[in-house]
A and B are shown apart, each in its own frame.
Chain A
Amino acid sequence: MQGGRGVTGNERNAERDGPFQVRGGSYTMVVLKLIDPSSRNFFPLLGEKVRQAPNFFRNAPIVLDLEELSQEREYFDFVGMIRRLREYQMIAVGVQGGGPRMRELALASGLAILPPGRGQRGEGGFRAENAAKSEAEAAAKAEVIKAESIAKVEAGVESEVAAAAADRAEPQDRSAETASPPAVTGAAALSLSTTQQSGQQSGSIPGVPSPPVPPPSPPSRITLIVTEPVRSGRQLYAAGGDMVVMAPVSAGGELLADGSIHVYGPLRGRAMAGLSGDTNARIFCMSLEAELVSVAGIYRLNETIEPLVYKKPAQVYLDNGYLRLQPF
């Protein structure tokens, strides 16, 4: 995703001619929460997980979450862990959480320290309910799969919001989809600095008519307005704000927004609101026929939409962690 839009200031232009460019980017990564890494079942269970969705894990960057490891732990073999993960074709790139001692060790092993994700508190954690049940015991040992989008921002640097891992967004095999729809796994931690939020994130999705870059002063939310039909195969992302679509969204089309999603037409594709964990986000549409709707990672599939709301004007919102579909 190279947009390179939203460059402001002359010094940035000067930077273009230099031997490198410093940029921010945001990527969806799989977080591997370490609960009991010394368990004998750790790698066998992990291997099973990988077999269910090999394409999803192939060469995937992995963030190790140390939060659940006991605090008093003085030593952890990061190098060994990195090597073992490699055997499963996963590439550990960094850690989040953990005490200062653990971070030091991670750093020494070549891992980056990532800011803690907002989604890790659980409310945004995304998991297919049925898969979760069978996993409950396994989870004690190897709790995988909470993809979080980690935003890495260098202050004052032009940033591009890469729409969450487009490659991984379409799981190749069905099992990946049921186990953990990666595109939806948006319990995200967008710890964006204000410089980033000042409006440079709107443009980077190809083919999207990007709204003009707003002036730098009033920060915060940007609305993405789409006036043409969202056809099958198209993926749109409203980074850091709401999305308003004034046309039909076809089956096979995909809408992602950190805020709410409004569709003034039939919604037949997928819509994921609150992608970075905003549980107050909602989805509104004129006719609810979606393949999938989700708010902050909690999702419903088309086949579970009740006849009462199907093809009706409706809203989708979270109510105490429960996804409600309500006709108007």
Chain B
Amino acid sequence: MPVTPDIPRDSAERGRGSLGRVIVMTSGKGGVGKTTSSAAFATGFAMRGHKTVVIDFDVGLRNLDLVMGCERRVVFDFINVINGEARLNQALIKDKRVDNLFILPTSQTRDKDALTKEGVEKVMEELRKEFEFIICDSPAGIERGALMALYFSDDAIVVTNPEVSSVRDSDRVLGILDARSRRAEMGLAQVNKHLLLTRYDPERAERGEMLKVDDVLEILAIPLLGVIPESQAVLSASNEGTPLVLADKGNAGQAYRDAVGRFLGEQIEHRFIKPERRGLFDRLLRRS
């Protein structure tokens, strides 16, 4: 399995080289865009040729399959695999649009107690052998579901909206990552943390109606992976079941594609942070 040289950042630590990297998409607060971002990143990685699986950890509130547009193909799920009622290959759903992309849906009828540490670990170990990237779509909150989603992570993408309550919750989650993840408990290198600021509206930020990028960075003090502008396309893509990176030729889709590139180590300048210049006069002055 081909692996980009920088990916297993601690292969020596794991001892076996080409194992996949587990990424948790987390936030604390609900409704900030974790599932949308999980779908976008998974699709983005796969489009670049990396074999990727995205797992829904929101047991009981199954959503990822809808956003990925595979809800009618769910037979077995994550919990069935944990309980040994199905093999992993039976539960994995292969995406029809993008090669290398797989979805592991969750159960709608069970609850978070079905996530045992041993069970999740077993599935993770199996997935690590087969996939380059394993994206764990965390439920909101800091309870069992969210803790299990982040426990095995090597990287965390912390999805935050530019508002104080979301930032506060993200801060709490960052503390939990440093204290209660497997890496923390085993004394390994810390989980790599990345900030993904979603639903950003540069004009409202400029007017002081929402927090600016710098305000959020100052409080959370972790590297910025990307800023996703507020966009109408997000809702329609979600309803349609098409990941944003596939559907949207507009700002939000581009911003996700940039963020995926940055995650893979490319140097890409941040966009959509400043308000767009408007009006003929501005255009004549700035763009010619």
Give the docked Cα–Cα distance between A230 and B168 (Å): 12
CB pair A233 B175 closer than 8 Å: yes
Instruction: Give the secondary structure class of A's interface.
Output: loop
User: B121 at the A/B interface (Cβ < 8 Å)?
Assistant: no
CA of A206 to CA of B221, assembled, Å: 22
| Contact of B172 with A252 in the complex, beta carbons under 8 Å | yes
Known: A252-B168, A252-B171, A252-B172. A231 touches B219 (CB 8 A): no
The reply to whether B168 and A228 form a contact with Cβ atoms under 8 Å apart is no
With A207-B184, A250-B219 in contact, do A232 and B179 touch (Cβ < 8 Å)? Answer: no
B130 at interface by CB-CB < 8 Å: no
Please tell me if B178 contacts chain A, counting CB pairs below 8 Å: yes
Are A206 and B171 closer than 8 Å at their CB atoms?
no
Contact A250:B179 (CB < 8 A) given known A207-B184, A229-B221: no
Whether B174 sits at the interface, judged by CB under 8 Å, is yes
Residue of B nearest to A234 (CB): B175
Cβ–Cβ contact A233 & B221, under 8 A: no
Chain B, residue nearest A266 (CB): B218
User: Which residues of chain B from 153 to 193 have any CB-CB distance to chain A below 8 Å in the complex?
Assistant: 168-169, 171-172, 174-176, 178-180, 184
Interface status of A251 (Cβ within 8 A of chain B): yes
Which residues on A sit within 8 Å (CB–CB) of B169?
232
Bound: A206/B179 CA distance, A:
8
A residues 190-234 in Cβ contact with B at 8 Å: 206-207, 228-234
Considering the complex, which residues of chain A in the window 146-190 have a beta carbon less than 8 Å from any beta carbon of chain B?
Answer: none
User: How many Å from the CB of B230 to the closest CB on chain A?
Assistant: 25
A248 within 8 A of B: yes
For chain B, the bracket of interface size reads 10 to 19
> Is A232's CB under 8 angstroms from B221's CB?
no
Interface size in chain A (residues, C-beta < 8 A): 16
- Give the complex CA separation of A119 and B174 in angstroms: 37
Determine which of A206, A207, A231 lies in contact with B174 in the assembled complex, contact meaning CB atoms within 8 Å: A231
CA distance A251 to B165 in the complex (A): 11
Give chain A nearest CB distance to B187 CB in angstroms. 10
A232 touches B172 (CB 8 A): yes
Smallest distance from the beta carbon of B21 to chain A beta carbons, Å? 23
Query: Which chain B residue lies CB-closest to A269?
Result: B171
- The chain A residue sitting closest to B180, CB to CB, is A207
CA distance A121 to B121 in the complex (A): 55
A234 contacts B179, C-beta separation under 8 Å: yes
**Complex: A250 Cα to B216 Cα, angstroms:** 12
Contact indicator A228/B219 (Cβ below 8 Å): no
Could you tell me the distance in whole angstroms from the C-beta of B196 to the nearest C-beta in chain A? Answer: 18
Complex alpha-carbon distance, A206 and B184, angstroms: 11
Residues of B close to A206: CB separation below 8 A: 179
Closest B residue, CB atoms, query A206: B179
Minimal Cβ-Cβ distance residue in B for A265: B221
Chain B residues in 8 Å Cβ range of A247: 221
On whether the beta carbons of B168 and A232 are closer than 8 Å, the reply is: yes
CB distance from A67 to the nearest CB of B (A): 41
A207 and B180 CA atoms in complex are apart in Å by 8
CB-CB under 8 A from A250, the residues of chain B are 168, 171, 175, 219
Contact with A along B200-242 (1 / 0, CB 8 A): 0000000000000000000101000000000000000000000
Shortest beta-carbon distance, A162 to chain B, in Å? 18
In the assembled complex, the Cα of A252 lies from the Cα of B28 at a distance in Å of 14
Residues of B within 8 A of A252 (CB): 168, 171-172
Nearest chain B CB to A233 CB, angstrom units: 5
Are A248 and B221 within 8 A (Cβ)?
yes
Chain A contacts with B in 249-289, Cβ cutoff 8 A: 250-253, 268
Q: Which residue of B lies closest to A247 (CB)?
A: B221
Contact A207 B178 (CB under 8 A): yes
- Most interface-central of B169, B175, B176 (chain A CB within 10 A): B175
Chain B nearest Cβ from A227, distance in angstroms: 12
Question: Which chain B residues lie closer than 8 Å to A231 at the CB level?
Answer: 171-172, 174-175, 178
Cα(A230)–Cα(B184), bound, Å: 15
- Bound together, the chains give a CA A247 to CA B218 distance in angstroms of 12
| B168, A251: Cβ atoms closer than 8 Å | yes
Q: Provide a sorted-by-A list of 25 A–B residue pairs whose CB atoms are within 8 angstroms.
A: A207-B180, A207-B184, A228-B178, A230-B175, A231-B171, A231-B172, A231-B178, A232-B168, A232-B169, A232-B171, A232-B172, A232-B175, A234-B175, A234-B179, A247-B221, A248-B219, A248-B221, A250-B168, A250-B171, A250-B175, A251-B168, A251-B171, A252-B171, A252-B172, A253-B175
Q: List residues of B whose CB falls within 8 A of some A CB.
A: 168-169, 171-172, 174-176, 178-180, 184, 219, 221
Question: Contacts A231-B174, A232-B172 given; 13 further ones with Cβ under 8 A?
Answer: A207-B179, A207-B180, A229-B221, A230-B175, A231-B171, A231-B175, A231-B178, A232-B171, A233-B172, A247-B221, A248-B219, A252-B171, A252-B172
Top 10 A-B pairs, shortest CB-CB distance = A231-B175, A207-B179, A232-B171, A232-B172, A233-B172, A250-B171, A234-B175, A231-B171, A231-B174, A233-B175
